[in-house]
Amino acid sequence: MNESLFRRAELVLPGGVNSPVRAFKAVGGIPKFISHAEGCRLTDVDGVSYVDYVGSWGPMILGHNHRVIREAVELAAAKGLSYGAPCRAEVELAELMTSLVPGLEMLRMTSSGTEAVMSALRVARYVTGRCKLIKFEGCYHGHSDAMLVKAGSGALTLGTADSGGVPESAAALTLSANYNDLGSVEKLLDANRGEVAAVIVEPAAANMGVVAPAAGFLKGLRELCSIHGTLLIFDEVITGFRLSPGGAAEKYAVTPDLYAFGKIIGGGLPAGAFGASREIMSCVAPLGEVYQAGTLSGNPIAMAAGLAQLRYLAEHREVYGYIDAYAEKLARGLAEIFRGKAAVNRVGSLLTVFFTSRSVDSYSAAKASSAEDYAAFFHAMLDCGFYLPPSRFEAWFAGAAHGEFELSATLEAAQRFARSGALR
């Protein structure tokens, strides 16, 4: 059934999928069509069950179909699916988010992380009166025109850092620096003095694979932006409410000027948000001149799911210690199994296995890892019942539903692969 569904999908969906990385192009083979999910497991349409380390690319921090979130969604759905008008849950979710995240005083809900980033950039340009942007090679910030320049995630997986259909005039306003290299940022700011509206960064990179910020890197960005009158934007679509209750800003004690959020704040449903201080956000319509709108922004079902998840995390902060410890054990075990053949990077509950003999602290080092070895590893693990990201440039997500059984079984399967002689 899985293969027949894919053949049908290819006729009506580009590549048979609705997001490029799902196509398995980077690892080969046919993607799995999922029938249902529970806890840390996915089950495909052929009835095969997998331990899931993708977690819907981050939102399922508590596991699939968590009772608290499911009940909140059922209760909200019984009252209507969409109002096109304000609802209580969006206010309560915004109140909770602003109470947890450093420097976040006001926010606007969107329906995706891409929307959130696009809107944050527009605000930065208005506030500063400047047009240019600085991003980092290998960091992915959604698929808006300005951000598809030397991008990570799916764009990197497909072997191109840019996209067709992006006007040169849009790309020309986006400058690329090297992640973990403050000198490259300083050179761009000096060469474009008074022209750069914002520096946008994944505070912990997760779209070139997981790469931690070097000591002093984020604080250095904060200082450079302050000196040059440039706004610092943290793209916390992945790291927000995952690395800590206050996200990367809390974990690294660095407060940006603007935030973009997504994934976890929707509890598994489509949601995003951008926000900042009250002063900055007062420029957004209807208070100010920066127009931003969305028919399904603040959708009552998505808001109910996100509110239930964030409330649970705020009330059960031990979840963060558990998922970090699980990921640390998993990363340590994998590093031992692949000693000398792979670098295993971890930040909190995020990790990536790069098949390379060198450490990976940059975009160039991530690109130098072996695609062939990762593809072999991916399929060996899939055959053993483990669903990993179908790209070496994506993060694995540990969640609260993973337990000691899954940990031991994952490491045993990885050990069998290492002993198989499949690695180059």
Q: Where in the sequence numbering do the catalytic residues fall?
A: 140, 235, 263
Asked whether the beta carbons of 1 and 46 are under 8 A apart, the reply is: yes
Structure tokens at 415: 């050990």
Give residues with Cβ within 8 angstroms of 14, minimum separation 6: none
CA distance 153 to 210: 11
CA distance 108 to 272: 9
Task: Look at phi and psi of residue 206 and say left if phi exceeds 0, alpha if psi is from -120 to 50, else beta.
Answer: alpha
Task: Report CA Rg, the chain.
Answer: 21
Distances (CA, A) of 77 to 15, 63, 73, 86: 33, 21, 6, 15
